Amino acid sequence: MAAPSAPTHIGNYSIVEQIGTGASSDVYLALEEKKFASVAIKQLRKTCQSEPYRKLMANEVALVGKLEHKNIVRLLSAHLDDQSGPYVVMEYVKGVPLDRHQHGDTLLPVNTVISVVEQVAFALQYIAGQGVVHRDVKPENIILMPNGQAKLTDFGCAIPTGTAGEMVAGSLAYMSPEQLEGQPLDERADIYALGAVLYRLLCGRHTFEADSEFEARIAILNFPISPIVKHRQGLPPALVAVIDRALKKNKDERYADWSEFIRDLGEAAHVIRMSDYDVDLYRGFSMSTQSVLSRFMSTDRDFSRSGFSRSSMPDSFGA
């Protein structure tokens, strides 16, 4: 059943339910009439149908219509002059957006996080080769399917490489300094964003601590990121190094391209796979509990999480 606030029909599609909300649009699960095929429809909200928003959607169609990659949600058709409001029809992907796994008590296993980030990196490498910068890489725009495949979606902020777009757009927590300042962008802006996604999915925190949007902007432009070890212990140095380099404020100090990022992330993944150390030992625990675990581990390297789980922890450890 459609939600009370959702339309019952858009064009030749019957609306099943609303499944997402963006800065300027709503996303619905819909059925194409006669074919009964499931699709996702993204339509500009009535309050966001002015010319700048219409231009952004038209730009999305122009850039994304040519993209075909197994880790990118496909755009099937566009209807920019519909009376109810401009909308695009996309492949419906049954899965979970990764913002469901960006908090301390819902974090995914490290190997799953790396697999997802690797897949998205290949998708972003592909679009870079097509002359496109996504400009809004964040957990909400990555869908994890039950079979482990990841899909990158929402190209509403995408721009051609080497341009800045007509307005600064994207999500502040994942913006590179040059994107925040409205400079022309290349793939290094998306590398920064994916580094911030990797950071968030591993520790459940943003790369900076701020109480307001103003403080966040100051932090992005001027202050180093909060060291990930401050929030998550036990990660291999090789993986921490990948994150640190991807998040360099000076784009010339970041990875020069996706090939370098994918190479180093793959090497870090290999270190993790070959290690007999439980890299998920600290996942989901508070820092005070991680400190207790760390002290225990320093005296007993055979210790494993199976022998020290939340169910057996004394209250004094305060997870």
Render pLDDT for 204-260 as a digit per residue (tens, 0 to 9). 999 988 888 889 899 889 898 999 988 998 899 999 999 999 999 999 999 999 999
- Among 21-25, 67-71, 220-224, 261-265, the least confident range: 21-25
Residue for token pair 């401009």: 86
Average pLDDT rounded to a whole number, residues 278-282: 81
Residue range 155-171, pLDDT digits in tens: 988 999 999 987 788 88
Average pLDDT rounded to a whole number, residues 294-317: 50
- Burial letters for 178-209: b for 16+ Cβ neighbours within 10 Å, e otherwise? bbbeeeebbbbbbbbbbbbbbbbbbbbbbbbe
Confidence bin at 151 (pLDDT 50/70/90): very high
Confidence bin at 319 (pLDDT 50/70/90): very low
| Percent above pLDDT 70 for the chain | 91
Could you tell me which residue, 262 or 213, shows the higher pLDDT? Answer: 262
Binding site, annotated residues for ATP: 42
Residue 61 has phi, psi (to 5 degrees) of -60, -45
To the query of whether residue 82 is one of the catalytic residues in this protein, the response is no
- Position 23 scores a pLDDT of 76
- pTM over the 0.85 mark: yes
Residue for token pair 């979970």: 96
Of the residues 26, 82, 136, 300, which is catalytic? 136
Q: Compute the Cα dihedral for 203, 204, 210, 216 and give only its sign.
A: positive
Residue range 175-209, pLDDT digits in tens: 999 999 999 999 999 999 999 999 999 999 999 88
Task: Report the distance separating Cα 228 and Cα 123, nearest Å.
Answer: 25
Q: Which element (helix H / strand E) includes 10?
A: strand 9-10
Task: Report the distance separating Cα 97 and Cα 145, nearest Å.
Answer: 9
Q: Which residues pair with 71 in a beta bridge?
A: none
- Position 3 scores a pLDDT of 44
- Position 168 scores a pLDDT of 82
Domains and their CATH numbers in the chain:
9-91 (3.30.200.20), 96-274 (1.10.510.10), 287-317 (no CATH)
Binding site, annotated residues: 42
Average pLDDT rounded to a whole number, residues 127-152: 96
- Position 299 scores a pLDDT of 56
Residue for token pair 């897949």: 119
